[in-house]
Chain A
Amino acid sequence: MTNLHDDAALMLRIGRGDAAAYRSVADQHLEAIMKYAQRLLRSPSEAEDVAQETFLRLWTDAASWTPEARVSAWLHRIAHNLCMDRLRKMREPLTDAVEQAPSADRPGQLFARKQLAEQVDQVLHALPERQRAAITLVHYQGMTNPEAALVLGVGVEAVESLLSRARRTLRRELAGIETQERGSAP
Chain B
Amino acid sequence: MSQSPKTDPRILRLEELLDTHGADLERWPDAERAWARGAAEESAEAAALITRAKRLDAWLDQAPAPTPSPALRRAVAEIPVRHPHASGSAGAWFFAKLWKAIVAGALASALGVAVGVATLDSQAGSDDEGVWSDDEGLIFSADLDREVVP
Contact = CB atoms under 8 A, between A and B. Distances in A.
A19 interface: yes
Interface of A is mostly: helix
Contacts of A139: 22, 57, 60
B30 to A, nearest CB: 13
A145 interface: yes
B146 interface: no
A113 B64 CA distance: 10
A71 interface: no
A98 interface: yes
Main secondary structure of the interface of B (DSSP, over half): helix
Q: How large is the interface on B (under 10, 10 to 19, 20 to 34, 35 or more residues)?
A: 35 or more
Interface in A96-155: 98-101, 113, 116-121, 124, 135, 138-140, 144-145
B63 interface: yes
B79 A171 contact: no
Interface centre among A19, A101, A140 (most CB of B within 10 A): A19
Contacts of A171: 52, 56
B72 A52 contact: yes
A83 interface: no
A98 B63 CA distance: 10
B6 interface: no
Interface stretch (B38-46, B89-97, B131-139): B89-97
A59 interface: yes
A5 B108 CA distance: 34
A139 B58 CA distance: 11
Interface in B37-87: 52-53, 55-57, 59-60, 62-69, 71-73, 75-77, 79-81, 83-85, 87
B5 to A, nearest CB: 16
Contacts of B55: 174
Interface of A: 13, 15-19, 22-23, 26, 30-31, 34-35, 38-39, 44, 47-48, 51-52, 55-56, 59-60, 98-101, 113, 116-121, 124, 135, 138-140, 144-145, 160, 163-164, 167-168, 170-171, 174
The 8 closest A-B pairs by CB, nearest first: A17-B85, A19-B80, A164-B19, A120-B63, A16-B93, A167-B19, A34-B68, A160-B20
